[in-house]
Amino acid sequence: MVVLGIESSCDDSAAAVLRNGRLLASVVSSQDAVHGPYGGVVPELASRHHVRNVLPVVDAALVRAGVGLAEVDGIAATRGPGLVGSLLVGLTVAKGIALRAGLPLVGVNHLEGHLLAVNLDRAPDDPVPFPFVALLVSGGHTGLYLARAPGDYACLGRTRDDAVGEAFDKAAKLLGLGYPGGPVIDRLARTGDPAAIRFPRAHLKRGRFDSSFSGFKTALREYLAAHPATPEALPDVAASLQEALVDMLVDTTREALLATGAERLVVCGGVSANGRLRVRMGEACAALGVEVLFPRPALCTDNAAMIALAGLPRLAAGENDGLEVNAEADLPFGAAWTG
Q: Which residues bind ligand KG4 (CB under 6 A)?
A: 10, 138-140, 165, 168-169, 180-183, 186, 269-271, 273-274, 301-302
80 binds, among Zn ion, ligand KG4, none (CB under 5 to 8 A by kind): none
* Smaller CB separation from ligand KG4, 237 or 273: 273
180 binds, among ligand KG4, Zn ion, none (CB under 5 to 8 A by kind): ligand KG4
Q: Which helix H or strand E contains 154, and what residues bound it? A: strand 152-158
* Smaller CB separation from ligand KG4, 148 or 201: 201
295 binds, among ligand KG4, Zn ion, none (CB under 5 to 8 A by kind): none
Query: 53: which residues sit within 8 A by CB, 6+ positions away?
Result: 13, 29, 31
Taking the complex as a whole, the smallest distance from the CB of residue 113 to Zn ion amounts, in Å, to: 8
* Smaller CB separation from Zn ion, 30 or 320: 30
- Looking at residue 206, its amino acid is R
Given candidates 162, 210, 302, 321, which one binds Zn ion under the rule CB under 5 A? 302
What is the length of the chain?
Answer: 339
* Smaller CB separation from ligand KG4, 172 or 262: 172
Which residue from 6, 12, 67, 62 is spatially nearest to 34, judged by alpha carbons?
A: 12
194 binds, among Zn ion, ligand KG4, none (CB under 5 to 8 A by kind): none
11 part of the interface to Zn ion, by CB under 5 A:
no
DSSP string, 59-114: HHHHHHHT--GGG--EEEEEEESS-HHHHHHHHHHHHHHHHHHT--EEEEEHHHHH
CA dist., res. 127 & res. 115, Å (int)? 12
235 binds, among ligand KG4, Zn ion, none (CB under 5 to 8 A by kind): none
Query: Treating both helix axes as pointing N-terminal to C-terminal, what angle do 234-260 and 164-174 enclose, rounded to 10 degrees?
Result: 170
Provide the 10 A C-beta neighbour count for residue 33: 9
Q: Are 36 and 114 in contact (CB under 8 A)?
A: no
Taking the complex as a whole, the smallest distance from the CB of residue 206 to ligand KG4 amounts, in Å, to: 26
Query: 310: which residues sit within 8 A by CB, 6+ positions away?
Result: 76, 108, 109, 112, 113, 116
How do strand 291-293 and strand 264-268 relate by DSSP bridges?
parallel
Radius of gyration for the alpha carbons in the chain, expressed in angstroms and rounded: 20
Taking the complex as a whole, the smallest distance from the CB of residue 307 to ligand KG4 amounts, in Å, to: 12
Binding map of Zn ion across residues 260-299, x = CB under 5 A, - = no contact:
----------------------------------------
* Smaller CB separation from Zn ion, 273 or 281: 273
Q: Are 110 and 268 in contact (CB under 8 A)?
A: no
Taking the complex as a whole, the smallest distance from the CB of residue 163 to ligand KG4 amounts, in Å, to: 7
* Smaller CB separation from ligand KG4, 252 or 274: 274
* Smaller CB separation from Zn ion, 169 or 302: 302
Q: Which of residues 101-140 bind Zn ion (CB under 5 A)?
A: 138
List contacts with Zn ion (CB under 5 A): 138, 302
